[in-house]
Amino acid sequence: MKIVYWDTAEVWDDPNIYWGDPSYKLEPGDPGYVPPATPSPEPKPKTKRMKRNTYYPSRLGDQIGWLTNFANKLPGHTTVLGLTTAQRDTAVADCKWLIYVLQSWLSAVRTWSLSCSDAATEAQDGPGTGLMALPVFTAPALPGGTVAVNTGALNRIFALVQLIKDGGAATETISTDLGIIGTELVGPDLNTLQPVIDAVITANHVAVKWGWGGNRAFLDQIEIQVDRGTGAGFVVLTYDTTPNYNDTQPFPATPAIWTYRAIYRVDDHQVGVWSNPVSVTVPG
């Protein structure tokens, strides 16, 4: 044991400290020493993924239409939005370049690629009566007013759209005209939403399988709890934001049944109902 004083860096309610005259603290090996409690491991949430711009289409054909509309409509709103002439011209040039790449150049490349496949077949199995000439790709001519721009054109367009949104001058009418408002989605009933999970043993851990059930846009994370059959009941295992989770808790010395359940969360609150529990027998 050691002598301690009230004005030193000691915890007043430390069970190993006996305050008196003198005051002393029990140390490991002393009779009556109380070992510190083993802290429960903190759940380790995964990094949340950044959401894509919901206003920008996923289909190539729709992307070309979006870029065409944005390039045509932006000049008419430049003054109201407080944009500079340079910002306007850069965005329009980026749009026109991407339209050319996605619509004309990419289509020509794909056609040329087919001709290359045909040429490879002819090189191997042709009649052998003449010298072969390999196809040469010729890029389609740039339309009038279209020029090559620096890489990252779409990133610059997205950055300008965010600037427009943050500026506060874009009314709903202007935003709709520019196509920078995503389609309004109808969310699920958060009172009845129930995750579907599964648990399987993989190598030396339990893999907890789960997904968003098509409702990713309306949910923040999932809370997974586990009951390891020790009498403690269900305890929090993790708050996860990426489907599927590996429970890396070491297996016990003897076989045991581990049971898992999960519930979705929004704004740090549970929503819906608990999943059906799933159990696995882990080896000892």
221 and 173 share a domain? Answer: no
Give the number of domains in the chain.
3
User: Which spans in the chain are helix H?
Assistant: 60-81, 85-99, 106-125, 153-167, 172-178
The per-residue pLDDT for 77 is 97
Nearest-angstrom CA–CA distance, 232 and 227: 7
Which residues partner with 266 through β-bridges?
A: 269
Please write the tens of the pLDDT for every residue from 219-276.
Answer: 999 999 999 999 999 999 999 999 999 999 999 999 999 999 999 999 989 999 999 9
Expressed as residue numbers, the domain containing 247 is 198-282
Confidence (pTM):
0.51
Residue 268 lies in a domain: yes
At 225 the pLDDT is 97
Q: Are residues 166 and 105 in the same domain?
A: yes
**Residues 162 and 261 grouped into a single domain:** no
210: pLDDT strictly greater than 70? yes
Distances in Å between the Cα of 16 and the Cα atoms of 8, 21, 40 are: 15, 15, 21
Mean pLDDT computed over 155-163: 96
Instruction: Let me know whether 20 and 100 are in one domain.
Output: no
- Pair 98, 154: CB distance under 8 Å: yes
Residue 82 placed within a domain: yes
Indicate if the pLDDT at residue 153 is higher than 80. Answer: yes
Give which of 97, 81, 80 is closest to 160, Cα–Cα.
Answer: 81
Token output for 246: 């590996």
Which pLDDT band, with edges at 50, 70 and 90, does 11 fall under?
Answer: low
Which percentage of the chain shows pLDDT scores above 90?
73
Q: Cα-Cα-Cα-Cα dihedral of 21, 25, 29, 31, to 10°?
A: 50
- The pLDDT tens digits of the residues spanning 37-95 come to 655 555 555 444 334 447 898 899 999 999 999 999 999 999 999 999 999 999 999 99
- Give 117-137 pLDDT, tens digit per residue: 999 999 999 999 999 999 999
Answer yes or no: are the C-beta atoms of 98 and 67 closer than 8 Å. yes
Same domain, 65 and 146: yes
Position 58 scores a pLDDT of 86
DSSP assignment letter at 6: T
